[in-house]
Amino acid sequence: MRRKEFLNRLTWIWGGAVLVPTAAMLQSCVYKPVKRVELTQTDIPFLDALGETIIPTTADAPGAKEAKIGEFMIVMVRDCMPPDHQDILLDGLNTLDEHCAKTYKSSFANLEVPKQLEIVQQLQSDAIAHGLKQKGKNTRTPHYFNILKGLTVRGYFTSKIGCTQARRYNPVPGKYEACIPYKKEDKIWAT
């Protein structure tokens, strides 16, 4: 009887020893949204994923992630953006992160591309609706997605990749040509 009792207790102890750390590990796998007070280096993958969804990689040119758009956004927000716009952007990014955590149990950066695209399309619709609500007001506040989109476009097309690979690059000084043939499928000029 002692042997059976010993084995029974050993099984319970061993099961508890395995179950408790496993439950703790599984609980730690749940994504918890980040409450941003300012943008930091840890936000680069998040911002890169948002930028890549706005300007994706194509056969002709690399996307915003290749242009290191996250690093550009951090510098621009920290050094060049007015505090009220910084607050709007940070609140919006926090809301987006909470939405992704609640709906998908993941960060935006870790979602599959179709889900990221769906979220960005919804953000675009929200930004349009926000703009329509503000029509006729004297003071208008921008939607955070419009700020984010502006930073992405500005950062991408002022980067080396955006100027030399997404656009036709012609170093200046060059010769002056008044009439240049242009086809509809041609890239726009960077210079």
Pull the structure tokens for residue 39: 């943008």
CB burial of residue 56 (10 Å; 0-12, 13-18, 19+):
middle
Instruction: Tell me the C-alpha to C-alpha distance, in Å, between residue 107 and each of 5, 75, 89, 141, 144.
Output: 48, 22, 17, 27, 18
Rounded Cα gap, residues 189 and 191, in angstroms: 6
Express each pLDDT in 86-99 by its tens digit. Answer: 999 999 999 999 99
Q: What is the pLDDT of residue 16?
A: 61
- For the chain, give the DSSP string: -HHHHHHHHHHHHHHHHHHHHHHHHHHHTS------SS--GGGHHHHHHHHHHHS---SSS--TTTTTHHHHHHHHHHHHS-HHHHHHHHHHHHHHHHHHHHHHSS-GGGS-HHHHHHHHHHHHHHHHHHHHHTTT-SS----HHHHHHHHHHHHHHTSHHHHHTSSB--PSS----S-----TTSPPB--
Pull the structure tokens for residue 160: 């080396």
Q: Count of alpha carbons within 13 Å of 7, Cβ hemisphere only?
A: 3
Instruction: Tell me the C-alpha to C-alpha distance, in Å, between residue 172 and each of 92, 118, 159, 168, 190.
Output: 40, 41, 17, 12, 10
- According to DSSP, the residues that pair with 168 across neighbouring strands are 189
Domain coordinates of the chain in residue numbers?
A: 29-164
Low-confidence ranges of the chain (pLDDT < 50): 26
Tokens 């979220």, located at residue: 119
Is residue 189 within 8 Å of residue 168, measured between CB atoms? Answer: yes
pTM comes to 0.75
Q: What is the pLDDT of residue 183?
A: 82
Tally the residues of the chain. 191
Report which residue type is found at 147: I
Q: What is the pLDDT of residue 3?
A: 72
Q: Across the chain, what does the average pLDDT equal? A: 87
Q: What is the pLDDT of residue 176?
A: 78
